[in-house]
């Protein structure tokens, strides 16, 4: 069972009322959206955007006031326009839950965990850039930049050097 984080705080901040409309830009397993739908009934709606097709396939939408869309919130404006969600008189709130679901670590099979032997993908959607390509194909300088910039790693040069050398001498990292 999925338990959404900070649910009470989200509901307190958004303060959904009957008839209001919301956008959940990171739908996940729908915990926040379903709670909002309880508060904005009978006519309020929620647009749920989720980039992970596998999660959307697991979710069974039985609520007519919930519109699910496969996509990434970076394309929010286009998603709203394309799906004609502008029919709403007003959007009362937009939610971004930017954390990663524990499902990705426990069961996704996408390389988010060191607990199991699985591909080193580390992304939430199919296709596109993945960690396996980065560690096996990118330059040592790019690896250093990533570790320093995003990981604030003080041993970035040494780590990148080892990854770079090993991926070229003993084979690919998986």
Residue 1 counted as domain residue = no
Name the pTM for this structure.
Answer: 0.71
| Structural domain that includes position 163 | 109-169
- Looking at the predicted structure, is the pLDDT value of residue 165 above 90? no
Same domain, 74 and 21: yes
- pLDDT recorded at residue 117: 77
Question: Which of 3, 37, 27, 2 is CA-nearest to residue 14?
Answer: 37
Residue 2 counted as domain residue = no
- Asked if 27 contacts 68 with a C-beta cutoff of 8 angstroms, the reply is yes
Can you tell me whether residue 70 is helix, strand or coil? strand
- Looking at the predicted structure, is the pLDDT value of residue 75 above 80? yes
| Integer Cα distance of 6 and 97 in angstroms | 10
| CATH number of the structural domain spanning residue 67 | 3.40.50.150
Residue 43 counted as domain residue = yes
Same domain, 85 and 151: no
């Amino acid at each position: 069972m999925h338990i959404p984080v900070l649910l009470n705080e989200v509901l307190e901040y958004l303060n959904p009322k009957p008839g209001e409309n919301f956008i959940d830009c990171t739908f996940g397993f729908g915990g926040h959206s379903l709670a909002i739908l309880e508060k904005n009934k009978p006519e309020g709606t929620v647009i749920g955007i989720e980039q992970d097709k596998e999660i959307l396939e697991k979710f069974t939408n039985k609520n007519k006031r919930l519109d699910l869309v496969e996509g990434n919130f970076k394309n929010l404006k286009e998603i709203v326009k394309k799906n004609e969600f502008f029919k709403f008189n007003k959007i009362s709130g937009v939610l971004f839950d930017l954390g990663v679901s524990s499902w990705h670590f426990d069961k996704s099979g996408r390389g988010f965990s060191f607990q199991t032997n699985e591909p080193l993908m580390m992304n939430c959607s199919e296709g596109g850039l993945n960690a396996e390509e980065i560690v096996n194909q990118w330059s040592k300088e790019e690896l250093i930049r990533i570790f320093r910039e995003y990981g604030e790693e003080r041993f970035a040069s040494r780590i990148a050097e080892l990854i770079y050398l090993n991926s070229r001498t003993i084979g690919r990292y998986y």
